[in-house]
Amino acid sequence: MAEQIIKTEFSEVMQKSYIDYAMSVITQRALPDVRDGLKPVQRRVLYAMQELGLSSDRPHRKSARIVGDTMGKYHPHGDSSIYEALVVMEQEFKKGMPLVDGHGNFGSIEGDGAAAMRYTEAKLEKFTQEVYLKDLDKNVVDFTMNFDETEREPVVLPVRIPNLLINGAEGIAVGMTTNIPPHNLCEVADGVMAYLDDPDITTEGLMEYIQGPDFPTGGLVVNKKDLREIYETGVGKLKLRGKVEVEAPKRKSGREKLVITEIPYTMIGANIGKFISDVVGLIENRVTGDIVDVSNESSKEGIRIVLELKKGADPEQITNILYKKTRLEDTFGVNMLAIADGKPELLSLKEIIARHTAFYKEILTRKYETLLAKELEQKEIKEGLIKACDIIDLIIEILRGSNSIKEAKNCLIHGDTGEIRFKTKKSQKEASRLSFTEKQATAILEMRLYRLIGLEILALQNEYAEILNKIKNYQDILDHPESMKRVMKKDLKKIKKDFGFERKTQLVNAKAAVIQEKPLEEKEVVFVMDRFGYAKVFDLSTVERNTDTVYQEYKTIINCMNTEKIAFFTDTGLMHQVKVLDVPVGRLRDKGTPIDNLCNYDSKSEQIVLAVPEHLLSMGSLLFVTEQSMVKLVDGQEYLVSKKTVQATKLSENDKVRAVFMLSGKEEQRSGYVIMQSEEGYFLRFALQEVTYKKKGALGLQGMNLSDQDSVSHVYLYGTMEESTDSIMYKEKELSFGKLRLMKHNSKGVKVRR
């Protein structure tokens, strides 16, 4: 057959392919199914453990074996993602009800990772066996072929309680995400029973039973008033707080302590370490001076983070600071998205319960249909055996007179006596009337002689009566919704009794944390920065005691108030600002903090030309000179802005700022001269009065008439009050600026040859 080229739009192919990929990620990897509340990888891990026989009463098996079976039989993806799913299902601090019983290092609440899968072992929790995997052998759910069609796997597990609520879910798909908080098992069971009693129950009615999320880490949900809207819409934000207790000193000389015993669910993992470092940052940045020490005393018994307080400190104020400035108060974004009827849907609390209840009814219907069919089959067989016991002599005569099992079976089923030898015509006539079913005939032929004992016959009759009773019960459950509802409620009550636990998370309506800011004591300090860009702040007394050392070691030294900002002008034409309060106060030998960490300055691509305190900007003006000899004055008021970084001056292509001078006084008070030195050795002296005021967005005027390859290398002020320089050493001789001929701006200047 000849090849046929199909022409199509590339955009259409890409669109279709991406949509197919997106739907595959959404339905097959990232989002849980509303019926069992599990993602495919979780479902397959649990089923693989069931198939390996890892029940709760059996020994643990290596996690690597579980991962290998899951990957080889059901989940053809990376082993790391399978093992991670196994680990998370074991971690009691992440799941409302852990589904896996782990043995070994499965990680910690503080962010420690699990040991490699070759070291850890696992088996199923009893809860998982009883509630998630029970009755899989009774045709309660559909099975499908695996990826290579060599194994069968369940499409969904027969979970008997809304796992989507019990354990919550989190996942990121393509263009959508799910984030469902865990809930209390007892409350969810009560909520489902309430829904069974009244399918028209409102969200408010359900919330009488399901009060709100119940996180395994405890803590507090402080916006209880928003829960109704969250449960009705499926989206919203929960405000979580850790639980803080005040611990009195054990002795008179001791200090009070704030002890954090429960943390927000969002603080699990590395965020505990981040919280401690944030508290240290509050101390270093002088947000609070009432915390003396912070330590993490957490253990397997629980969380215990201790903050030791100064004497006379206000614990309530410090607690509010922690809530306001750290992740001790955090937000949990609720987005109750799940796969329903094969597609992603945003679900309310009632919809989750309604859809799971419908699934639960389907499970029970299929279970009791399977059991009913089995009992009807047994009823048929028992009826045949009982009838056979009544005519056992005739049965024996048929068997003794038959040449083969086939002849005997035909006689029992169809009354065919043609080839069978009977002792009497009467027996033959009776045998011709027999009409056992196929199953009955098979059971009669397989019956052992001991069943003819009187007690055995009585037991057979009792078994038959029991079977009739079961059939009656099963048919009642299948035919009457009220009976089905009783079975469901009985199951839920048993689950609640066997596995229920008390609520851990408190639900309250709390006011927002308010920090009563202490008035800042305004004082003069000294900002210093070395040639490597490390900055810190000294008290005046420190500088007075070590004046020589300070002026030797630091390139930039600025007297300023602790309440103002320092402006940094760079050669790229930018101005960066740093609050003095953000610069750590240091001792003489402290290294300081890189200026890059305090503002948007990038030491790799720009250099600081001038650093000036905010109060000087408000009183004076700035003189800018660039490499291409553009010069201008800008009113310092233009740089009194709130932004951390602004464009300080406009630059031509490939131009850079060569110098910035801070000038005080008004325009009419300006005096002195500007001295420009070029790379080729030209010097130009012109009056400062010639430089005009421009906006910061202007280029300025030409200061020196440069040749094509020349550029400004140095700029000096002469005869002014600010940074005035009278002479420099040039070519190993002193060059006095007073002897340079005075010219106009935009002149070439004088070349100094000596």
| Catalytic annotation, residues | 119
Task: State the DSSP code for 344.
Answer: E
Going along 486-547, which residue ranges are E strands? 506-507, 524-529, 534-539
Whole-angstrom distance, CA of residue 595 vs CA of residue 578: 9
Q: How far is CA 667 from CA 53, 214, 575, 614, 672, in A?
A: 91, 69, 23, 20, 12
Gyration radius from the chain CA atoms: 43
Phi, psi of 218 (to 5 degrees): 75, -130
Work out the end-to-end distance of the chain between its first and last CA atoms, rounded to an integer number of angstroms: 92
Tokens of 670: 């300006």
Length of the chain: 754
Whole-angstrom distance, CA of residue 365 vs CA of residue 587: 77
Tokens of 206: 């359900």
Helix ranges (H only) for 78-207 are 79-90, 126-131, 163-166, 185-197, 203-206
Q: How far is CA 441 from CA 201, 370, 405, 434, 704, in A?
A: 54, 23, 10, 10, 119
Tokens of 235: 């989206």
Whole-angstrom distance, CA of residue 336 vs CA of residue 224: 18
Whole-angstrom distance, CA of residue 258 vs CA of residue 245: 6
Tokens of 249: 């000193």
Contact criterion met (CB below 8 Å) for 215 and 504: yes
Phi, psi of 163 (to 5 degrees): -65, -30
Tokens 């330590």 belong to: 295
Whole-angstrom distance, CA of residue 623 vs CA of residue 662: 7
Class of residue 340 by CB neighbours under 10 A (exposed 0-12, middle 13-18, buried 19+): middle
Going along 88-189, which residue ranges are E strands? 100-103, 121-124, 143-145, 152-154, 169-172, 177-180
Q: Which of 587, 574, 751, 589 is nearest to 679 (CA)?
A: 751
Task: State the DSSP code for 490.
Answer: H
Q: Which of 206, 209, 204 is nearest to 225 (CA)?
A: 204
CB atoms within 10 A of CB 196: 20
Whole-angstrom distance, CA of residue 481 vs CA of residue 589: 82
Phi, psi of 499 (to 5 degrees): -125, 0
Q: Which of 88, 103, 108, 118 is nearest to 56 (CA)?
A: 103
**Type of residue numbered 619:** M
For residue 53, is it left (φ>0), alpha (ψ between -120 and 50) or beta? left
Q: How far is CA 101 from CA 62, 135, 265, 577, 716, in A?
A: 12, 21, 22, 55, 77
**Type of residue numbered 559:** N
Whole-angstrom distance, CA of residue 27 vs CA of residue 40: 9
3-state SS string for 546-594: CHHHHHHHCCEEEEEECCCEEEEEECCCEEEEEEHHHCCECCCCCCCEE
Tokens 């069931």 belong to: 50
Whole-angstrom distance, CA of residue 364 vs CA of residue 488: 8
